[in-house]
Structure 1
Amino acid sequence: MSDHVARAALLPLPPADRVRQATAALADFIERAKLVAGERLPTERELAVALGVGRSTIREVIRHFQALGVVEARKGSGTYLLRAISAATVHMPLSLETTHLREVLLKTLEVRRGIEAEAGMVAARMRTPQDLKTIEEKLDEMERVHLSKGTSGPEDLAFHLAIYDATHNPLFKQLLEQMREAFERFWERPFDRPDFARRSFPFHRTLFNAIADGDPEAARAETLKILAIVEEDIKEMSK
């Protein structure tokens, strides 16, 4: 553990509302310890002992920060900071109360459609040559895997994340990652089905072309084509 981490004390919490308090305390600790992107956080055990909470509370806090794109858990290595935050950082956790799976997925998609279409338009305006290189690399890999296996879940996600990065507005990535997590939370294994949204495959290349051409309206149109197919498949698979 680095010296500045050791100097920043974590203090035990009172019993009420442990997750919320632990979230605020960890954000404050990251600021006071002057942690920067790439540095490892204390272990779950160290955080639990320092804050006087259970490890399940710490795991929930870490999941919250993962959903916001603030930290990354690396198997066998620990949890690493992806971007500096403080107690004043704006966090926007999402919740949706419903017992109907189909309704959850479609409501999530309804919100995602507006944000993701706008992300494509902003990326078309703001992308740099390096952004285009990264997006195309992710697209090439997605197409390679799709053509060999018939499905490309992780590669598809990497392609879209590269587009969000090309907006140069971190809120797009954070919000859309939470949309994706909502899908996965309510429908545990939607993308294991080889046929899920397969028909959207060609539109990923045309979306890239629109962004490369600097054409926001075309980027919006191609994004909406992809999401229309996702919506059709959700409706078909949840009948």
Structure 2
Amino acid sequence: MTAGFDSRPRISPLPPMDRARQVTDALATYIDQASLKAGDRLPAERELMAALAVGRSTIREVIRHFQALGVMETRKGSGTYLLKPITSATIHMPLSLETAHLRDGLLQTLEVRRGIEAEAAMVAARKRTPEDLVVIEEKLNEMERVHLAKGTSGPEDLQFHLAIYNATHNPLFRQLLEQMRGAFERFWDEPFDRPDFARRSFPFHRTLFNAIAAQDTEAARRETLKILDVVEEDIKEMSK
């Protein structure tokens, strides 16, 4: 079944506020009210842009969000399709953390990340496919290349970890960890303005990959914790 965008219910233009969040809510409500099912094609980008009075970049940001949730996929030359029915009540898992000091917030977040990231590494070690390994190693090789050239890895480090979360085949790992990282997005771009932040964790990324490749869950957990231990030590040391 393919739903036409001119059929009811209609989506109304949005007031100028948080566009991405509003588009997310509006599209989820439309999917629910129109009773779209798995396999149905969504309205094209241009139709969404016109109906919601937003730009292409906002629409694409929202589609990427839904893709990360595992409820949509975009097929080249064909469009975006619904993989799972959703409602506005099932797509958000907001996190809140009130703290007066960056250092305290980072350390509190790290306490939670330890449990989630260690588990994600173990699940990835169990469930990774040969295709997952190719992607993870590509990201690791790029991270190592940049690290050796510049002494820091920056965004390449994040891409390596995202590839591991994807290898769990459970979208909740990526969603939760991205939300926690997003809370401190500016910090993670240039931690303490120090290019050597967490540099000592660099060798453990390769040993983590080796553990996942060997499907050694305990080793994957251990190497993940080594990385996070270095992050914690540097947060404490560099925030003095």
Number of the residue aligned with 2:77 = none
Residue 47 (1) aligns with residue 52 (2): yes
Gaps of 5+ in 2: 72-79
Instruction: Report matched runs for 1:20-59 at 5 Å.
Output: 23-30=24-31, 32=34, 34-35=40-41, 40=45, 46-48=51-53
Q: What does residue 135 of structure 1 align with? A: 136
AA aligned opposite 1:99: A
Confirm or deny: 8 A CA contact 1:184 1:190 kept in the other structure: no
The answer to whether 1:153 aligns with 2:179 is no
Q: How many residues align?
A: 217
* Equivalent position of 1:181 in the other structure: 182
The answer to whether the Cα contact below 8 Å between 1:68 and 1:91 also exists between their aligned partners in 2 is no
Q: Which residue in 2 is equivalent to 1:77?
A: none
Q: Answer whether contact 2:125 2:217 (CA < 8 A) is retained.
A: yes
The offset of 1:23, in angstroms, is: 4.7
TM-score if structure 1 supplies the norm length? 0.75
Match of 2:68 in 1: 69
Partner of 2:102: 101
Cα distance in structure 1, aligned partners of 2:145 and 2:94: 35
- SS of match in other structure, 1:151: coil
More divergent stretch after superposition (213-222 vs 84-93): 84-93
Q: 1:83 to 1:147 in 2, by over 3 A?
A: farther
**What is the one-letter code of the residue matched to 2:129?**
T
Q: Contact 1:151–1:194 (CA<8 Å) still a contact in 2?
A: yes
Q: Deviations over 1:57-76 (max 9, x none)?
A: xx7xx68x8499359xxxxx
Structural RMSD (CA)? 3.7
Q: Secondary structure at the match of 1:4?
A: coil
Gaps of 5+ in 1: 50-54, 72-79
1: CA distance, partners of 2:229 / 2:214: 23
Task: State the TM-score, normalizing by the size of structure 2.
Answer: 0.74
Separation of aligned partners in 2, 1:185 and 1:30 = 34
Name the aligned partner's letter for residue 40 of structure 1. Answer: E
> What is the aligned partner in structure 2 of residue 227 from structure 1?
228
Q: Is the 8 A contact 2:12 2:51 kept in 1?
A: no
Identity %: 67
Report the residue type matching 2:217 in the other structure.
P
Residues 97 and 42 of structure 1: is their aligned pair in 2 closer, same or farther, counting only changes over 3 Å? farther
Cα distance, 1:150 vs structure 2: 1.1
